[in-house]
């Protein structure tokens, strides 16, 4: 039996450098890296993305970092020498780009796909929203779905953050459960035991989310419509909107005279959420589970959101706030909970119960360890059970490889031409 608690190597191929203070995806990635470090793995994070001023200092966690190139044979040389025991791809695009190279150079390495949220589902819902239609299953069958679900089949194990998406992949797309693992956000003990401010110590409303994320930006635009109705009934209340990478179009909405404040990046998301009495998240499309709503539970802040916002985060009863899709009902619940201390305290109790029953990291950590332990014991046996995955690797990887090699050769020819011109 493979020993998970030993000095083995995990190579992570990231879509971007982790920014845990900028997005829920960045925070989730860091929690995964820490989980492997906790179990004594050597962890190497690599990405072709540019470094940013807000990226996490991985060296402080004893995590190595490496810059890699797209469509370049140097990655083959790097991974051939490294020979990792497992490779984790951050979203399907990284599996497409680097999966075939990993398969060539270290075929026995376990290939793990961290989906974050299902990109095709988010795309389908955005498309339906723009057409002012319900997102029927027909919208799921888009080009992104073909690519993403192929990557899931090619991977030995895919990490699925939402219980809704976990069921969708099995029922709608017939992905074997043995290739999937439900793994929501992994909270630590300090987040469970956080002491929070009382109702009387708080004031105003808060909204938060990375402005580069389309559902978050649409939420801000919707709040601009909702806020006058809320403000009319609560004339001294304010709405403070925080978000990483605030664009000019967002700052243009800033209107302190009406209490609609666009505040740019929050240095401490927990602090700004805890200072507020209510968190507003009127998300009209999207996928995955929402870090802001989990942060609201941790800080004891009731949240008003939509069915899309709360999807995959609870069992349909006792949401710590309110789930409302209608314009008027959303406003009504926001005002009611802001004024009613008893209801507000009841929401805090619901949040504590939900955190304890659904977000305790321990059972999910054990499940991940058990799944990887089983696959690592004999990866060939695991793959033999999934013929469709083998077929996908054979067909899809060939096309990805040939396209990548064509780009690589084109780049080499362009560089050669440039060097010749300079010599002339």
Instruction: Convert the pLDDT of each residue in 240-297 to its tens digit.
Output: 999 989 999 999 999 999 999 999 888 899 999 999 999 999 999 999 999 999 999 9
pLDDT for res 387: 78
Give the domain CATH number at 341. Answer: 3.40.50.2000
Residue 30 has pLDDT above 70, yes or no: yes
Is 1 domain-assigned? no
Confidence of residue 2 (pLDDT cuts 50, 70, 90): very low
Backbone angles phi, psi at 84, to 5 degrees: -70, 155
Same domain, 198 and 215: yes
* Spacing of C-alpha 31 from chain mean position: 12
Residue 362 to residues 171, 184, 236, 368, 375, Cα–Cα distance (Å): 27, 12, 43, 10, 20
Q: Final residue of a domain: which of 319, 343, 358?
A: 358
DSSP 8-state assignment for residue 51: P
Same domain, 174 and 28: yes
Same domain, 340 and 301: yes
Rounded to whole angstroms, how far apart are CA atoms 359 and 238?
Answer: 31
Backbone angles phi, psi at 50, to 5 degrees: -75, 150
% of the chain surpassing 70 pLDDT: 91
Residue 364 to residues 111, 140, 185, 413, Cα–Cα distance (Å): 19, 28, 9, 49
pLDDT digits (tens, 9 = 90+) for 350-364: 999 999 888 988 999
Domain span including residue 301: 190-358
Average pLDDT over residues 393-405: 59
Q: Final residue of a domain: which of 339, 358, 377?
A: 358
What SS3 state is found at 338? helix
* All residues at 6 or more sequence positions from 374 whose CB lies less than 8 Å from its CB, including other chains: 382
pLDDT digits (tens, 9 = 90+) for 123-148: 999 999 999 999 999 999 999 999 99
Confidence of residue 190 (pLDDT cuts 50, 70, 90): confident
pLDDT digits (tens, 9 = 90+) for 83-111: 999 999 999 999 999 999 999 999 999 99
Residue 232 to residues 223, 308, 334, 335, Cα–Cα distance (Å): 14, 27, 12, 10
CA atoms within 13 A on the CB side of 373: 13
Same domain, 365 and 306: no
Rounded to whole angstroms, how far apart are CA atoms 226 and 322?
Answer: 15
Average pLDDT over residues 317-334: 96
Same domain, 196 and 317: yes
Is 133 domain-assigned? yes
pLDDT for res 189: 75
Same domain, 163 and 260: no
Same domain, 384 and 336: no
What SS3 state is found at 11? strand
Instruction: Please name every residue paired with 181 in a beta bridge, in sequence order, or none if there are none.
Output: 159
Same domain, 155 and 221: no
Is 3 domain-assigned? no
Rounded to whole angstroms, how far apart are CA atoms 34 and 54?
Answer: 19
Same domain, 31 and 167: yes
Same domain, 171 and 88: yes
Is 87 domain-assigned? yes
> Phi/psi zone of residue 305: left (φ > 0), alpha (ψ -120 to 50 degrees), beta?
beta
pLDDT for res 241: 97
Burial of 59 (0-12, 13-18, 19+ CB in 10 A): exposed
Same domain, 348 and 306: yes
User: For the packed helices 327-339 and 214-233, what is the interaxial angle rounded to 10 degrees?
Assistant: 60
If one counts the domains in the chain, the total is 2
* All residues at 6 or more sequence positions from 106 whose CB lies less than 8 Å from its CB, including other chains: 79, 80, 82, 83, 84, 87
- pTM tops 0.85, yes or no: yes
Is 200 domain-assigned? yes
Residue 271 to residues 194, 266, 364, Cα–Cα distance (Å): 12, 9, 27
% of the chain surpassing 90 pLDDT: 78
- Is residue 281 within 8 A of residue 290, CB to CB? The reply is yes
Which two tokens mark 186? 């992994």
Confidence of residue 1 (pLDDT cuts 50, 70, 90): very low
Which two tokens mark 60? 């402080």
Is 2 domain-assigned? no
- Is residue 358 within 8 A of residue 184, CB to CB? The reply is yes
Is 4 domain-assigned? no
Residue 420 has pLDDT above 60, yes or no: no
Same domain, 150 and 14: yes
């Amino acid at each position: 039996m493979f020993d998970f608690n030993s000095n083995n190597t995990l190579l992570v191929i990231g879509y971007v450098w982790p920014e845990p203070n900028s997005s829920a995806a960045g925070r989730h990635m860091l929690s995964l890296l820490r989980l492997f470090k906790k179990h004594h793995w050597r962890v190497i994070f690599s990405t072709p993305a540019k470094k940013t001023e807000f990226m996490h200092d991985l060296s402080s966690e004893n995590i190595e970092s490496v810059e890699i190139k797209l469509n370049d044979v140097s990655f083959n040389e790097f991974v051939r020498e490294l020979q990792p025991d497992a490779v984790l791809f951050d979203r399907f695009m990284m599996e497409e780009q680097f999966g075939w190279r990993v398969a060539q150079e270290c075929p026995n390495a376990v290939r793990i796909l961290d989906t974050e949220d299902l990109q095709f589902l988010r795309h389908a819902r955005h498309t339906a929203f723009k057409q002012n239609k319900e997102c029927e299953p027909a919208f799921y069958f888009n080009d992104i779905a073909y690519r993403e679900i192929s990557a899931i089949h090619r991977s030995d194990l895919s990490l699925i953050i939402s219980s809704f998406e976990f069921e969708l992949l099995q029922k709608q797309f017939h992905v074997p459960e043995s290739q999937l693992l439900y793994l929501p956000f992994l909270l630590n003990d300090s987040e469970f035991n956080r002491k929070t401010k009382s109702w009387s110590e708080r004031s105003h409303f808060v909204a938060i989310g990375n402005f580069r994320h389309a559902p978050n930006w649409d939420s801000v635009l919707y709040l601009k419509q909702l806020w006058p109705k809320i403000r009319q009934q609560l004339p001294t209340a304010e709405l403070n909107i925080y978000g990483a990478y605030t664009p000019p179009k967002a700052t243009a909405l800033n209107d302190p005279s009406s209490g609609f404040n666009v505040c740019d990046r929050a240095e401490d998301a927990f602090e700004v959420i805890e200072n507020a009495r209510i968190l507003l998240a009127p998300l009209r499309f999207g996928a995955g589970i929402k870090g802001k709503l989990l942060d609201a539970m941790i800080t004891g802040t009731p949240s008003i959101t939509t069915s899309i916002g709360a999807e995959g985060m609870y069992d349909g009863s006792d949401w710590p706030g309110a789930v409302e899709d209608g314009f008027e009902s959303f406003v009504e619940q926001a005002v009611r909970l802001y004024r009613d201390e008893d209801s507000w305290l009841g929401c805090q109790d619901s949040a504590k119960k939900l955190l304890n029953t659904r977000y305790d990291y321990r059972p999910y950590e054990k499940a991940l360890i058990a799944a990887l332990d089983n696959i690592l014991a004999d990866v060939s046996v695991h793959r033999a059970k999934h013929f469709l995955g083998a077929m996908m690797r054979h067909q899809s990887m060939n096309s990805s490889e040939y396209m990548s090699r064509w780009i690589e050769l084109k780049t080499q020819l362009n560089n050669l031409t440039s060097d010749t011109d300079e010599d002339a």
